[in-house]
Amino acid sequence: MDEMVNKITWTQHLAIGIFVVLGTALAIYDFHLTGQAIKTLQASVPLVIEDQREPILPIPLTLVLDPAKVTLGEKLYHDPRLSGDDTVSCASCHDLAKGGTDQLPLSRGIGGRLGGINSPTTFNSGFNFVQFWDGRARTLEEQAAGPIHNPSEMGSSWPEVIAKLGADPFFRQFFAASYPDGITAVNITDAIGTFEKSLITPNSPFDRYLRGENEAIGPAAREGYRLFKEFGCVACHQGVNIGGNMFQTVGVLENYFAHRPITKADRGRYNVTGRAWNMHQFKVPTLRNIALTFPYLHDGSVATLRGVLEVMWSSQLGRKLQEDEAKLIIEFLKTLTGEYRGEPL
């Protein structure tokens, strides 16, 4: 019996390993600018890593960004005039007081319209290799334009937005100071993107641990991290954002979608490419501040960390989650909550 168990475990790990390699290769093929995006990130974000053997990297303590554009972008991020009826801002679905999300399964846009997918966090989104769950936006600037034109989100248009902002002396002054050509669609998204790049949450207990403060996290969290690596979670959740740098399929070893109708959002990356191998593929979400960014998964169907671990164990690892393992890994995940502008989230 032990020999059979070991054989099954070895087979599962082999399957996961092959899938990760193939999934990563396809993601790179699918998004041909990935290499350039990573080079740009490395050039703009110097990382100081104390232990090169660890698969997770600490968030840099500071970034070099244009402060005037950050300030302007912050004003735009919180301004509901970007929506058609002046009721919805970026912050409506990406509330910084709620971990950069709205903590709802599906967000509501203009006129109370229900969206089709869970709103991901904007914190640390500048470290993602693409934006949106399906990766349809390559940059934060491109992402910022999407909700403005989506009839279920902000339901507006550039002429309408530019006219509203142009009637405001504050925005005319601030745009003129940073952009010679004033208020344009490109400049609006550039300012919002610059602000979103500033939304980093460094100095989590786990980051301090990575930087050499061994007592920054307790023994239970350290053991949880060991299990996190042992079970192969780091195959998809690693790097500075502990995710956000590849696409992977939901349901590698168990069909996550078997017991309910498939929605358009469930198709994931397939909606962008139309390629069969992209069906049910999603950008791997960041685990940064995960204790605050509930509910989980692209459909917002799982309310707790315990629940989402159970889904991952069955659908991605093909095994049953043990209670003692879950408690330890959750202790580790809780140490990933960082600080924003020097204050704990």
CA separation (Å) from 61 to 155, 211, 310? 37, 11, 33
Q: How confident is the model at residue 182 (pLDDT cuts 50, 70, 90)?
A: very high
Digit-coded pLDDT (tens) for 132-144: 999 999 999 999 9
Q: Residues 145, 166: one domain?
A: yes
Domain end (from 143, 173, 197):
197
Q: Residues 81, 187: one domain?
A: yes
Entry field: residues in the chain: 345
Domain end (from 135, 167, 197):
197
Digit-coded pLDDT (tens) for 13-45: 444 454 444 454 444 445 443 333 333 333 333
Q: Residues 337, 307: one domain?
A: yes
Query: Which CATH number belongs to the domain containing residue 292 in this structure?
Result: 1.10.760.10
The total of structural domains in the chain comes to 2
Q: Residues 205, 340: one domain?
A: yes
Mean pLDDT score of the chain, rounded to an integer?
Answer: 89
DSSP assignment string, 120-151: PP-TTGGG-SSBSTT--BSSHHHHHHHHHH-T
pLDDT of 4 above 50: no
Amino acid at residue number 52? Q
DSSP structural state of residue 298: T
**Antiparallel, parallel or unpaired: β 339-340 and 281-283:** unpaired
Which domain covers residue 137, as residue numbers?
A: 67-197
Q: Residues 87, 117: one domain?
A: yes
Which tokens hold the place of 315? 């659908």
Which tokens hold the place of 238? 């690693």
From the list 50, 74, 141, 153, the catalytic residue is 153
Residue 74 a catalytic site member: no
Q: Residues 14, 102: one domain?
A: no
Instruction: Read off the pLDDT of each residue in 326-334 and give the average, rounded to a whole number.
Output: 98
191 contacts 162 by C-beta, under 8 angstroms? no
